[in-house]
Amino acid sequence: MKKNYRSVSGFLRLSILVLLLVGTTGLSSAAQIALTWNDNSTNESGFNIERRIGASGSYQPLANVAANIASYTDAGLSNGTTYCYRVRGFNSNGSSGYSNEACATTA
C-alpha cells in the first residue's frame, strides 16, 4: 500500500519571539524562545518541532504538540546563542513538508 504523504494539507509559516526571563537576586536568568505558526491544515494529528543550535549543523527533534496547537515555548536556553527551528505537521499517512526556518539569538 502506497502512503500518501501529501495528506497533511496546508502551509506552515513559523515565527518566533525571543523572551528573557529575569531571575530574582541570587537566581540566574534563563532565556526562552516562543514559537508560533499558522495551522492551515484540517487533518493533522500534531506537529513535530525541530531545533538546531547555531547557523549550521543538523536539526534534532525537540518536541511534538497535539493537533490544533500552534505554539511552543523552548525554555531554559543559553544566553547569547542562536537557535533555529522548523515545524511540520503529521498524521497517520505521513508528514507535511517543513515550515520555513526561523532563527533567533537569545539575549
Contact between residue 81 and residue 53 where contact means Cβ atoms under 8 Å apart? yes
Which of 59, 58, 61, 66 lies closest to 89 in space, CA to CA?
Answer: 66
Pairwise CA distance, residues 45 & 64, whole Å: 10
Could you tell me which of 80, 79, 98 has the C-alpha nearest to residue 12? 98
Sign (positive or negative) of CA dihedral 35, 39, 40, 46: positive
pLDDT tens per residue across all 107 residues of the chain:
333 333 344 545 555 554 444 433 333 457 888 888 888 888 889 999 999 999 888 999 999 999 999 899 999 999 899 999 999 989 888 888 888 888 888 88
pTM: 0.77
Query: Looking at residue 78, what DSSP letter applies?
Result: P
Report which residue type is found at 94. Answer: G
- Residue 32, Ramachandran bin (φ over 0: left; ψ between -120 and 50: alpha; else beta): beta
Strand (E) positions, 26-70? 30-37, 46-53, 60-66
